[in-house]
Amino acid sequence: MLDIKFIRENPEIVKENIRKKFQDQKLPLVDEVIALDAENRAAIAEAQELRTQRNMLSKEVGKLMGQAKKDPSKLEEAEAVKAQVKAQADRLAELEQKETELAEKIRKILLVIPNIIDPSVPIGPDDSCNVEVQRFGEAKIPEFDIPYHVDLMERFGGIDLDAAGRVSGNGFYYLLGDIARLHEAVLAYGRDFMIGKGFTYCIPPFMIHGNVVEGVMSQTDMDAMMYKIEGEDLYLIGTSEHSMIGRFIDQILPEENLPQTLTSYSPCFRKEKGAHGIEERGVYRIHQFEKQEMIVVCRPEESKDWYEKLWQYSVELFRSLDIPVRQLECCSGDLADLKVKSCDIEAWSPRQQKYFEVCSCSNLGDAQARRLKIRYRDENGKIQLCHTLNNTCVAPPRMLIAFLENNLQADGSVKIPEVLRPYMGGKEFLEKV
């Protein structure tokens, strides 16, 4: 969310940014919100002037009423001034109502105008224009066939989609045995990996209020993703980023407490509204999954460095599990409205012979902080907005697809990388059931 003052002073920069995001339908909103802001500021100024006059006239009424005790002619003058005070009070009430209505209109438009993207972001209308930056690890194609991931999990007695369909419908699953254990092992390893990087482990609330949802994501994403609890002001989180950033709502943090570096575990719930493949047999796109996340709340001058650190942590983690990955820079049209800059880390799929997304790293600048009033007091005592960043650490079961495919052996077993063995009871291989 942009500062209305910035929009007022830089309308052409804001419009050009909208064009770069291929959202030309939003261009009229810039002039509209500037006009509403001018009207609102005029109302505020008039109201302030009326309050000043009312205070002066109220004192005058008191003075005249005192004089009327000695001079009855002053009573009529006092009543005239009282009538003037009443008229001003009525006008002030109108202005205050107008201020409230205008402020709400302005707020709704500000929630829709996209954040200013970083100059380094490639320009393009959709994810087909995302740019590969670099690869890590050799993307190998084995000489033996690799089964579809569900068939692979079934070899180990590790998944039951049919029962999940009867119980919950499409987009749900049961994980069993060694596959379920592997699922938890990957999450535990991701947790300890981030703790080793100096992050504080956290388990957040899995439901949040609507004002927090509005603060952390765009309305479009909210409608497409979030499940609402009927009859309550509560939503199931789509990622722990939502409640983790919400933790700092309306807070002024001491500068010495920054940066806040947190790694959080949560289940995640998503409608996947309009998502392709939700009806397919598999666990690539689902309504419920678990995730370990990285969250940073920092000073503005630190956010670019933290962005680089976060995606590099993802690369390091996946390479430690023998999974080749690449970094993909997201183009302007593929960025959510709150994001300044974002990249995906994609894992290699030997079966499909292509990469697919397993992590998403984002710098949101001060957009979430402005909406949620997350601030800090700098060394000069001035209140400043923080910057917020997030990145996926690991998100099974999607991550398991990459793990199983890349560690599958010719005899049908799956090799357990050394770093994961302590979480699997020392096992070196998964053997077929």
Q: Is 421 a catalytic residue?
A: no
Strands, sheet with 375-377, edge to edge from the N-terminal-most edge strand: 252-254, 375-377, 383-385
Of the two residues 7 and 52, the one the predictor is more confident about is: 7
Instruction: Please identify which of the residues 39, 99, 272, 357 carries the catalytic annotation.
Output: 357
Given a cut of 70, is residue 338 above it in pLDDT?
yes
pLDDT tens digits, residue range 366-411? 999 999 999 999 988 999 999 999 999 999 988 999 999 999 999 9
pLDDT tens digits, residue range 289-337? 999 999 999 999 999 999 999 999 999 999 999 999 999 999 999 999 9
pLDDT tens digits, residue range 82-115? 566 667 677 788 888 999 999 999 999 999 999 9
pLDDT number for residue 81: 59
Given a cut of 90, is residue 230 above it in pLDDT?
yes
Given a cut of 50, is residue 203 above it in pLDDT?
yes
pLDDT number for residue 68: 55
pLDDT number for residue 78: 55
pLDDT number for residue 62: 57
Instruction: Please identify which of the residues 285, 299, 319, 377 carries the catalytic annotation.
Output: 285
Which of 76-85, 122-131, 342-351 has the weakest average pLDDT?
A: 76-85
Given a cut of 50, is residue 226 above it in pLDDT?
yes
Given a cut of 50, is residue 166 above it in pLDDT?
yes
Q: Is 360 a catalytic residue?
A: yes
Instruction: Show the domains of the chain with their CATH numbers.
Output: 4-110 (1.10.287.40), 127-430 (3.30.930.10)
Given a cut of 90, is residue 64 above it in pLDDT?
no
Given a cut of 80, is residue 63 above it in pLDDT?
no
Instruction: Please identify which of the residues 360, 362, 370, 375 carries the catalytic annotation.
Output: 360
Task: Give the C-alpha separation, 425 to 433, whole Å.
Answer: 18
Instruction: Please identify which of the residues 154, 266, 398, 405 carries the catalytic annotation.
Output: 398
Q: Is 270 a catalytic residue?
A: yes
pLDDT number for residue 74: 57
Of the two residues 54 and 4, the one the predictor is more confident about is: 4
Of the two residues 53 and 69, the one the predictor is more confident about is: 53
Q: Is 299 a catalytic residue?
A: no
Which of 124-133, 267-276, 408-417 has the weakest average pLDDT?
A: 267-276
* CA 411, 412, 418, 422 torsion-angle sign: negative
Instruction: Please identify which of the residues 247, 270, 326, 351 carries the catalytic annotation.
Output: 270
